[in-house]
Structure 1
Amino acid sequence: MRNQEFNKRGSSWRKWDLHVHTPISIEQNYGGDQGWDKYFDDLRKLPEEVEVLGINDYLFLDGYWRVKEEWEAGNLPNIKLLLPVVELRLDKFGNSGGSLSRANYHVVFSNEVDSSIEPQFLNNLESTGYQIGDYEWDKSPTRDAVEELGREIKNRVPDGVLPPNGSDLKVGHDNLNITLKSIKTALSKSDFKGKALTAVGLVEWKDIRWEGSGAEKKSLIDKCDFVFTASPDIESYNRSKQYLIDNQVNPRLIHASDAHNNLDSTESNKLGHTYTWIKCDPTFEGLKQSIIEFDTRIRISENKPVAPVNQIEKVSFDFPPETELKSKSATDTFCFRGSHKFYFSPYFTAIIGGRGSGKSTLLNLIAEKIKPGKSNYFKQKELIPDSVNIQECVDIDGVTTPEKVEFLEQNEIEKFAVDYKSFTEAIYQRIFKLDDESKLAEIEFEAHELQDTYTTHRNNLKRKSDLIEQKKKIESQLSTQKSIVESFTDEEYVKLNDDLKELTTLKQSLESSKKRFNIFNDKIKEALASVTEIEKEPDDYNEFDLVFTEYLEGVQSSKDSAESNELLAKGEAKIDGLIEKIAEKKLAIEKFLGSKGHTLENLKDISGANERIASLESELREVSQSLARLERFTLNEPYKRDLVGTFNVNINQVLEPINEKLNVQNDQVKPIKIEFNFDESHFVNEANKFIIEKIKEFSEGKIREDHIASRLEGVNLKEIANKDDLLRVIADDGTVTSTAMKDYFNNSLNFEMLRGFIEYELLRLKKYGRFNIYYDERPLENNSFGQRCTATLVILLLLGNTPIIIDEPEAHLDSKLIAEYLVDLIKEKKLERQIIFATHNANFVVNGDADLIHCLRIDDVSKVTHSEDITIEDVGSRSSLLALEGGKEAFQRREDRYGLRI
């Protein structure tokens, strides 16, 4: 179990300074023994992010023990770990700068073996020896022995030569050369196995000439675990890093202060001057694992590395103790009944455990909380009793929104591998986020605006077509009614009929105006009712508030004034008067016609015809006016096709850098490529469906769909510019189908509606856009199922920056593929997006370098899931990782990757 003082969210970024001298170091500017109080005070004042120190007083540990004593007394609460460091001068000389220098060799020991360093390491070191005249020095470099050497060097200086400056200890140390062979022999002792890391100082190493000593120079640095630099700034560090890369030697360069000065010093080699951030628990093992995963665990920067923006931080469960899980075959104790909390790393969290330990249940609870009703797991199983509600019992804390979390349940990767529509939609969402200049969003916005314009145009065309048909019907009915009336030519009847027509027309005009007023007034009432009051005191109104208030009061006043206007009452009285007069006039006509011997049925026809004529003429005027208005709302500009091509070009430009990453040069994965194209067959099917529907409607369902479809085969509807072009490509074979199609499209309005549909559909960029995936230069669907799953998982991981949760991603994947490719992809992507896996595969966990691992197990008695939260560097719990299938081999491969045995 990890130390609970460590971050609950797993391996975390901290600043480490692995090269700090103390007031009793051989070389220092703290003031010697008199400087301890200020030194400790400075350590307490270090920036809060500095949590680990490596205490380095060259050959001796006295300073380390003094600092450790203060730390163990609780007087350095800001420091989480102290490591003992020994710095040695090797018998490897450089003089590229004109003066002789010796390579500095550092050994960083685990705090767990600090008591063994002096007896098992320092006392077993060997020097190259020293001889002056008859004096020969060849001893282990203890403090007394080194002082003796310094004293003898001073005493044996030739006459006329000034003795070296400094204490006996300093002079002896400055002339002491330790053999690399003795260092390696001492470190090979069992006490130090896996408990020591070696580093060479960059500056002195660079002084060794390549000419004549190149092989030795390269061997020295490459066989170290890392390289130390105390560069004054990050720019200098970057130049040094590039130097190592250019010379093809060990590039694992760590910055440290090499502090010889207090915190307030103006020198760069002072306390707190470190740029090294390491993402691990503050333990020696954490440092070891970070050296192995140097590129992703170690950063050199002033500020803390930025974590993925969108992330789930913590999930809490609080289910009633009686909760059970019911499936079709059984009802079991719910493994997460009661209270549970799970933290998640911002980077990569792995959930492991045996079958039935709750891994899938945990992830599906998160998925169901985020997107209710989407989890197939809880469609097949249900929590009982019915009162148990996942939305109430699951709580998620984080800095993301539900729609940004992507969850792939078991076997869903396989679904994407065979369902291009789902896969295309998943890619679409990611591609838009990668478009830094938002060109795709701008094009899509313009397309939506044009679609709105085209929709209005299509609606106008439909309305126009309907109005023309309506006008024809009204004119036909009007003609019929007029013919009935015109059959009576008696002058008295004609006058009575004209009077009735005039009265009816006047009444309908008044009623139409009344209706228009009431509709408008009702809308004003609705608008006023929907207005939100200004929640301010009038004295606090700004300019917009003042204008708004005046405007609102004006509208309210106008409405009130209109509703109380006496003209409305006069209008109502007119309508009532006209109704009476119309009734009187109808009665007069009936009496007249009755006097002429007409039957009751004839009387109703003639009387109704007069009234119907007035009504039809009023309808005809309204329809004609509507048609005239529609003529003014034609499409002012030609259809715009270039957006489709521009969209395709831009989306493929966004894909270029992605395809570069997917062009994998790996024995286990072949190159993957994504192309975006217009799905022509989908478009043709939709256009044909539109035409078939219209022709069937036109022919009142008398023509078969397949006959219509056969006439459209090979017709490129996108290239049809006018109705004549379309009529020419429809077979002129005299069949019922062809004749109906020609009759329908001979109507210009019908053709324009088809063209409006085509142009509108062409702007549905996402509907007809298709991402074609190629694996090893073959369409994805032409590859094996395993290869399809591989390409799918790679693309889903590579694209996007939002949290991705996958339940058992290893299904259908080759273990070698995971170990030799996917783990590197995960390590790269986890710095940009939060990744959460439930897995049985040790390589995902160990070589994917999981930052937090939840080890789930079911209690044999309570049947409740318990979790042990560990990290890779948590040696005490490593047995859980070794128990995974291939666990031991995964750790072996982890070390083999860089040829390290640390």
Structure 2
Amino acid sequence: MNNQFHGENAWDQYLTALENATPLIEAIAVTDYYVTDTYEQVLFHKSTGRLPHAKLIFPNVELRLDVATARGGFVNAHLFVSSEDPQHLEELRRLLSRLQFNVMQDRFDCTRADLIRLGRKADASITDDRAALAYGANQFKVNFQQLREVFSESGWAKKNVLVAVAGGSTDGTSGVREAADQTIRREIEGFAHVIFAGSPGQREFWLGRKDLGPDEIRSRYGGLKPCLHGSDAHKLDDVASPLGNRFSWIKGGLEFDALRQACIDPDGRAYVGEKPPHSAMPSQVISHLRIDDARWATTPYIPLNPGLVAIIGARGSGKTALADVIAAGCDAITSDGWNADENISPSFLARARRLVGTATATLTWAGGATVTRALDGSDANGHLSFPRARYLSQQFVEELCSAKGVADGLVNEIERVIFESHTKDDREWALDFAELREQQTARFRQARGREAEALGDISGRIATEFEKESLVATLSTQVGQKKKLVADYTADRAKLVVKGTEAQVARHTRLSEGAQALRNRIQAFGNQRRTFVALQDEVRSMRATGAPELLRQAQARHGNSGLDAKQWDEFLLIYKGDVDKSLAAYVAWADGEVRKLNGVPPPLGDPNVALVSDAVDLATLPLAPIVAEMSRLEALFSADKLVRDQYTALTGRMAQENSAIQTLEARLTDAQGAAARRKDLQTERDDTYGRVFEAIINEQNALAGLYVPLMARLSASSGTLKKLSFSVRRIADVQAWGSVAEEELLDRRKTGPFYGRGSLIAAATGALKPAWETGSATEVQAAMTAFMAKYLKDLLSHAPYAPTQQAEFRAWSKQFAHWLFGTDHITVRYEISYDGVDIRKLSPGTRGIVLLLLYLALDDSDDRPLIIDQPEENLDPKSVFDELVGLFVAAKTKRQVIMVTHNANLVINTDADQIIVASAGPHPSGGLPPITYVAGGLESADIRKSVCDILEGGEAAFRERARRLRVRLER
């Protein structure tokens, strides 16, 4: 039909064009309407040595259905026929003969003879058989319902024929526009295994990525469909040159079953485009493995597919051995793995350490690199080596997913993935997650530390003020007692006065009061002087040790500043003024004031002559002349020395008690102001407590920001991946917080609200825990204020000391305040959940799913080969299918995946690109058994048989998949 090849050399030119085509053509479907003439001629030329690269040639019989298109054409259908059956031409002709076309009061079968007869009957002027065949084929229309019936009744057709339908508008189903024909269009497309279409839009539609989702496509059309495209070459220039360079690429071995596999997995197995779709980068793909100096390796050369490689075999067949050997060649076995106990380790190389001898593994990478490693581990983990693959050995998975502990190893791996989900710019030069977390949260944790320290100081001052408040009554009593004592002393002294000396006694009393006032002032200056001297000591200490240490601490906290020593020196704390000069002047000033107040004693004279005139204002005199005048007067009071001594003693005691009264009154005034100061400090403490939580919340938000890129991916995902979630939580360990009080601070032997064990913890759990874990800083403040208002008196009633035990109660109250407002029990941590359950509470098997989620779906930054030994361990078959199959399908498009498995679902439903079947011979004494590896794809009947024989449920899995997809695959 429409043959534009001309000349005696037409066939040679046609075959030469196929042989020299770029890209290289390895499979050819030869198209003819209703017959196989061209196909048979191609086979003849193939038998003479032509088309040496074409390993697979099969017929593509085109049929014109009796369904019209809007452009005046008819929908074309194609029958891809397997050429593996030696009788396929005979069986195909028998199948076609059952199709009939009724026209001109006659019935014509779809055979060469009847097509020629139809052509001549339609145009009596045609005499040439070839011309009549062409004309008859152009007239013949196949009834779709009849085609479907013939196909359904033929066991041979189901086994050997795939049906394709054109998807274009001229001669395809897209041209069926009338509403009345939409049903037949859907039936035709549902009947077809393949859609002939080259546009990306058609491919996206039939993969369920456009108007309809995958499930809707399956429901309406019986399954997703691969799209294929031919060159449709009617002339030499079009040979192997499809429109828009839309070549058809099929992944698989060169056998017809590769087409069947493409119908089962259209997304992964069939593609139309100028070049095949890329998967892993060549530099990150192991193209083949060679094992040398190993008599046990009977197949030392093993090619590896760049997609998903499944290693299967019976127990003890050498599956793990191959994974270990590949990992060793990639420097992917850790030191712990090499040094594992050979008696209990699941590792082949660890158990065979003494038997592998000088055997080596040489890996050749698709990028051209070649690496050789000893299989005894002697050259492993050198200082220049790095793992070229990620190896999830059984030992590694067991350690990360162990039921023991809280799976810190798994959490660390998750944090690594979180870190690598950030762009290099966002990482701010951090080398790992811990460093990035430190960069993001350091300022908030430092703020928390500062505020917590301030909180402790404030709590200490509040305790001091509480203690002062409790002293008001005591100090008031003491002041009254002292005043009464002074009054008694005054009365006693009055009784010693000799008649006639009353004036001198009055004078002495005034002098005594003046002297007391001066002594108080001298004492005040003395206190100031001691303070100035202490400040001088503090200044020297700060310069020598304090400021340098503060500078060193700042340098440690801000190690990324990039400041040099000279620049850091500018941050050394110094005093703003010349404090040395100032303090020396203050000491000298205090000394001078004391000297002035003391004065110089006057020279002794006549005892009857006053040393200080009555007219002098005593407030203007220093202490020495006043004391001298008091001594002179005391000698005049009585001639009796005993009386004079008593008078002097009483005067001294009165001065001493008056000084004590002054001190007590100062303390009383201070204590009376304690309540107001305490309230101010409590307000300050509440504010500081809120700032502590502001810092905690800021840290929480900073941590949450670290997983935002990963959460964006998870929220946009579906299925298994959507079950994984990350959050940052404040965790309040109320048990630990309450236990400190119950066991160390409170006397629970005392009757009261917190008599029973756990009663305080229960109260705090209800009143404080919600705010601690989810509240804002303001809400935390309010919760603590309410808690104190409700429970503080009750808590104090359980104090182990009475307030009268001042020293003990003072120390306890400080400890109590530090505990009450402490925040050491508040931590901020990641919560990693799967299906709503914290990862720390998951079973080992489910942790294994999370681990595979990481490496298969989330670890985008790692494009190295992923080697996994039995990922389905501890999982039930349904979990494998539901949770893992989709992950492997997606992962193999981005990186090379090599897995050891005994699960049929992970081989069949992932459409593994390569199956390596391991088998081992008898185990010789003192040596390793011979191990053989045979590789192929699921399109190979021999490989499928091995899968069914070795893997439990393999045959059922094949049967179920073929049933669902209406594609027959024989074992």
Report the TM range for the smaller structure's normalisation: 0.5 to 0.7
Match status 1:355 vs 2:315: yes
- Hey, what's the Cα distance between the residues in 2 that align with 1:347 and 1:811? 22
Q: Which amino acid aligns with 1:141?
A: T
Deviation of residue 618 (structure 1)? 13
Alignment match, 2:111: 141
Q: Are the counterparts in 2 of residues 125 and 178 from structure 1 also a CA contact under 8 Å?
A: no
Correspondence for 2:419 among 425, 432, 440:
432
Alignment match, 2:833: 772
Q: Are the counterparts in 1 of residues 279 and 894 from structure 2 also a CA contact under 8 Å?
A: yes
Deviation of residue 126 (structure 1)? 4.2
Q: TM-score normalized by structure 1?
A: 0.60
Alignment of 1:710-749 (within 5 A): none
Q: 1:459 to 1:293 in 2, by over 3 A?
A: closer
Q: Are the counterparts in 2 of residues 123 and 141 from structure 1 also a CA contact under 8 Å?
A: no
Alignment match, 2:268: 296
Q: Are the counterparts in 1 of residues 401 and 845 from structure 2 also a CA contact under 8 Å?
A: no
Q: Deviations for 1:113-145, whole angstroms, at most 9, x for unmatched residues?
A: 365324652575245445548xx4634421x54
Q: Are the counterparts in 1 of residues 342 and 350 from structure 2 also a CA contact under 8 Å?
A: no
Which one is further off, 378-387 or 350-359?
378-387
- Hey, what's the Cα distance between the residues in 1 that align with 2:25 and 2:244? 7
Correspondence for 1:372 among 321, 329, 334:
334
Correspondence for 1:870 among 925, 936, 942:
936
Correspondence for 1:313 among 286, 294, 315:
286
Deviation of residue 384 (structure 1)? 9.2
Q: Aligned pairs, how many? A: 662
Q: 1:361 to 1:123 in 2, by over 3 A?
A: closer
Q: Which amino acid aligns with 2:134?
A: K
Deviation of residue 197 (structure 1)? 0.7
Alignment match, 2:379: none
The residue matched to 1:53 in structure 2 has which SS? strand
Q: Are the counterparts in 2 of residues 127 and 177 from structure 1 also a CA contact under 8 Å?
A: no
Alignment match, 1:394: 361
Correspondence for 2:187 among 203, 209, 219:
219
Alignment of 1:138-177 (within 5 A): 138-142=108-112, 144-155=113-124, 167-177=131-141
Alignment of 1:329-728 (within 5 A): 336=297, 340-367=300-327, 369-375=331-337, 378-381=340-343, 393-398=360-365, 402=387, 405-409=390-394, 412=397, 415-416=400-401, 418=403, 419-435=406-422, 439=426, 448=438, 626=548, 632-633=571-572, 642=698, 644-652=700-708, 654-659=710-715, 661=717, 663=719, 672-678=723-729, 680=731
Correspondence for 2:232 among 259, 266, 289:
259
Alignment match, 2:513: none
Alignment match, 1:798: 857
Q: Deviations for 1:617-675, whole angstroms, at most 9, x for unmatched residues?
A: 9999865995797793479xx989746514404514522432554555xxxx9x72312
Alignment match, 2:631: none
Report sequence identity in percent: 19
Alignment match, 1:880: 946
Q: Deviations for 1:258-280, whole angstroms, at most 9, x for unmatched residues?
A: 42245645x99748943332211
Query: 5+ residue gaps in structure 1?
Result: 1-25, 158-162, 323-334, 461-616, 690-709, 748-753, 763-767
Alignment match, 1:851: 913
Q: 1:411 to 1:313 in 2, by over 3 A?
A: closer
Q: Are the counterparts in 1 of residues 78 and 164 from structure 2 also a CA contact under 8 Å?
A: yes
Match status 1:278 vs 2:255: no
Q: TM-score normalized by structure 2?
A: 0.56
Deviation of residue 779 (structure 1)? 4.0
Alignment match, 1:590: none
The residue matched to 1:38 in structure 2 has which SS? helix
Q: Which amino acid aligns with 1:771?
A: I
The residue matched to 2:895 in structure 1 has which SS? coil
Deviation of residue 51 (structure 1)? 2.6
Deviation of residue 253 (structure 1)? 4.5
- Hey, what's the Cα distance between the residues in 1 that align with 2:548 and 2:883? 68
Alignment match, 1:5: none
Deviation of residue 39 (structure 1)? 1.3
Deviation of residue 769 (structure 1)? 3.3
Q: Are the counterparts in 2 of residues 427 and 799 from structure 1 also a CA contact under 8 Å?
A: no
The residue matched to 1:856 in structure 2 has which SS? strand
- Hey, what's the Cα distance between the residues in 1 that align with 2:734 and 2:211? 57
The residue matched to 2:321 in structure 1 has which SS? helix
Q: 1:86 to 1:682 in 2, by over 3 A?
A: farther
Alignment match, 1:94: 68
Alignment match, 2:885: 823
- Hey, what's the Cα distance between the residues in 1 that align with 2:19 and 2:116? 33
Q: Are the counterparts in 2 of residues 314 and 341 from structure 1 also a CA contact under 8 Å?
A: no
Match status 1:31 vs 2:98: no
Which one is further off, 28-37 or 875-884?
28-37
Match status 1:833 vs 2:895: yes
- Hey, what's the Cα distance between the residues in 2 that align with 1:804 and 1:852? 15
- Hey, what's the Cα distance between the residues in 1 that align with 2:58 and 2:91? 17
Q: Are the counterparts in 1 of residues 317 and 931 from structure 2 also a CA contact under 8 Å?
A: yes
Alignment match, 2:41: 66
Q: Deviations for 1:703-728, whole angstroms, at most 9, x for unmatched residues?
A: xxxxxxx9xx999999899xxx9xx9
- Hey, what's the Cα distance between the residues in 2 that align with 1:622 and 1:677? 44
Q: Are the counterparts in 2 of residues 125 and 186 from structure 1 also a CA contact under 8 Å?
A: no
- Hey, what's the Cα distance between the residues in 1 that align with 2:809 and 2:717? 53
Larger radius of gyration: 2
Deviation of residue 154 (structure 1)? 2.1
Deviation of residue 256 (structure 1)? 1.2
Alignment match, 2:164: 199
Q: Are the counterparts in 2 of residues 262 and 271 from structure 1 also a CA contact under 8 Å?
A: no
Query: 5+ residue gaps in structure 2?
Result: 344-348, 368-385, 451-538, 555-570, 575-693, 741-760, 802-806
Q: Are the counterparts in 1 of residues 869 and 900 from structure 2 also a CA contact under 8 Å?
A: yes
Q: Are the counterparts in 1 of residues 399 and 409 from structure 2 also a CA contact under 8 Å?
A: no
- Hey, what's the Cα distance between the residues in 2 that align with 1:151 and 1:655? 71
Alignment of 1:38-77 (within 5 A): 38-77=13-52
Q: 1:681 to 1:641 in 2, by over 3 A?
A: closer
Deviation of residue 104 (structure 1)? 1.4
The residue matched to 2:180 in structure 1 has which SS? coil
